[in-house]
């Protein structure tokens, strides 16, 4: 049990939370040690040889492999280099993973980098075909805030006669507070758990729906994979300056205080998420467009995706529908 200061000890909830975090950390350290030990054994390398090649002492390597040493990123990278493996191979994978996944990753590690995009498309196409019938007539809108997901989503739902679901509002109802308060009090990870639970509930209860997802849903690989697998997805996009303008029109004037920095941040976020957003089955660019015109184009996309039996193109394939100006 970690040593806590008196204020923390007086609050059982805080003490329990900290103890839980320490326990999780110990488990991660133990797993790293196991992965280092297994990787070394797989290569028939003695601990002394690994110590010489990595620059870490033999004693410290023994501590790491025994789950008692907590190596820095620099040390772990040196060990990975000495073992001739990616550093990611020495880190626990989220929620573990079946042996088949490990085999796939090992195979991909031997593939030229130039071949990886094509392989990714083949895998996503195969996965999409296997789950095409699970999407029903659910249309999910993804993209940055200010693209028009809520406005267009509500109008699209009315046109199709589907219920409109805004995941953020569901999370707020479940938690009993605004998203900003939830994140401040409980953390982003808690928000993402609520988001995943709400999405699962919508999918379980609604065969047909228009769903507006938060822009950051792509940051959780499992939740985003669920969305792609169980919904027809459309990336609602716009130019960065239009995103900013629309956010301010919604009443958020914070960007005006540091407009240059805010625009740079927004552009960086868009750049970081673009490859994930592009996995959607269709794209709609609302830049310089009226709501009515954008709605017409979105309606055409929605009818193509969900108006007939759900066997549309899989996310990540080249069969992406694009509606621009």
User: What are the structural domain ranges in the chain?
Assistant: 6-99, 131-323
Residue that the structure tokens 């999918």 belong to: 203
Count CB atoms within 10 A of the CB of residue 112. 6
For the entire predicted model, the pTM comes to 0.64
Reading the block at residue 243, the tokens are 């995103």
Q: CA 160 → CA 221, 231, 281, 311, distances in Å?
A: 29, 16, 19, 19
Segment 24-49 shows an average pLDDT of 82
Phi-psi region of 318 (alpha: psi -120 to 50; beta: other; left: phi over 0): alpha
Segment 62-78 shows an average pLDDT of 91
Q: How far apart are CA 151 and CA 212, in angstroms?
A: 10
Count CB atoms within 10 A of the CB of residue 88. 10
Q: How far apart are CA 181 and CA 190, in angstroms?
A: 12
For residue 109, the Cα-to-chain-centroid distance in whole angstroms is: 22
CATH of 6-99, one of 3.40.50.300, 1.20.120.1230, 1.10.260.40, 3.30.110.30: 1.10.260.40
Average pLDDT over the chain, rounded to an integer: 80
Q: How far apart are CA 155 and CA 174, in angstroms?
A: 25
Segment 159-164 shows an average pLDDT of 95
Count CB atoms within 10 A of the CB of residue 151. 17
Q: CA 240 → CA 172, 266, 324, distances in Å?
A: 27, 7, 15
Q: Do residues 176 and 184 lie in contact, with contact meaning Cβ atoms separated by under 8 Å?
A: no
Min mean pLDDT across 102-111, 171-180, 262-271, 288-297 is at 102-111
CATH of 131-323, one of 3.90.470.10, 3.40.50.1000, 3.40.50.300, 3.40.50.150: 3.40.50.300
In this model, does residue 213 exceed pLDDT 50?
yes
What dihedral angle (degrees, nearest 10) is formed by the CA atoms of 102, 105, 110, 112?
170
R_g (Cα) of the chain, nearest Å: 24
In this model, does residue 61 exceed pLDDT 90?
yes
Among positive and negative, which fits the CA dihedral 273, 274, 279, 282?
positive
Segment 232-238 shows an average pLDDT of 94
Count CB atoms within 10 A of the CB of residue 52. 12
Most confident of 98-107, 125-134, 233-242: 233-242
Spatial CA neighbour of 308 closest among 232, 233, 234: 232
Spatial CA neighbour of 145 closest among 273, 19, 33, 51: 273
Helix (H, G, I), strand (E, B) or coil at 141: strand
Reading the block at residue 156, the tokens are 């699209």
Q: From start to end of 193-320, where are the E strands?
A: 208-212, 232-237, 282-285
Q: What pLDDT does residue 251 have? A: 56
Q: Do residues 223 and 203 lie in contact, with contact meaning Cβ atoms separated by under 8 Å?
A: no
- Do 6-99 and 131-323 fold alike per CATH? no
Q: Do residues 160 and 167 lie in contact, with contact meaning Cβ atoms separated by under 8 Å?
A: no
Segment 159-184 shows an average pLDDT of 92
Q: Do residues 166 and 258 lie in contact, with contact meaning Cβ atoms separated by under 8 Å?
A: no
């Amino acid at each position: 049990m970690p040593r806590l200061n008196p204020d923390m000890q007086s609050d059982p909830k805080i003490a329990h939370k900290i103890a839980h975090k320490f326990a999780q950390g110990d488990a991660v350290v133990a797993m790293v040690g196991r992965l280092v030990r297994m990787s070394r054994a797989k290569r028939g390398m003695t601990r002394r040889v690994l110590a010489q090649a990595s620059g870490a002492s033999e004693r410290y390597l023994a501590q790491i492999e025994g789950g008692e040493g907590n190596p820095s990123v620099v040390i772990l990278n040196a060990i990975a280099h000495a073992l001739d493996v990616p550093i990611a191979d020495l880190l626990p994978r989220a929620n573990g993973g079946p042996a088949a996944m490990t085999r796939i990753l090992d195979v991909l590690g031997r593939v030229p980098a130039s071949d990886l995009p094509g392989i990714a498309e083949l895998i996503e196409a195969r996965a999409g075909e296997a789950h095409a019938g699970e999407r029903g007539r659910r249309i999910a809108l993804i993209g940055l805030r200010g693209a028009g997901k809520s406005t267009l989503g509500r109008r699209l739902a009315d046109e199709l006669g589907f219920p409109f679901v805004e995941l953020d509002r569901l999370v707020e109802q479940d938690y009993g507070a605004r998203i900003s308060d939830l994140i401040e009090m409980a953390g982003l990870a808690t928000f993402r758990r609520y988001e995943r639970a709400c999405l699962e509930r919508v999918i379980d209860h609604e065969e047909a729906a228009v769903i507006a997802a938060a822009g950051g849903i792509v940051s959780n690989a499992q939740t985003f994979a669920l969305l792609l697998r169980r919904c027809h997805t459309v990336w609602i996009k716009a130019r960065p300056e239009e995103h900013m303008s629309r956010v301010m029109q919604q009443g958020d004037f914070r960007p005006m205080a540091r407009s240059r920095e805010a625009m740079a941040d927004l552009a960086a976020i868009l750049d970081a998420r673009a490859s994930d957003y592009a996995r959607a089955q269709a794209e709609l660019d609302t830049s310089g467009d009226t709501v009515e015109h954008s709605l017409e184009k979105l309606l055409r996309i929605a009818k193509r995706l969900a108006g007939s039996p759900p066997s549309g193109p899989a996310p990540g394939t080249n069969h992406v529908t694009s509606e621009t100006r």
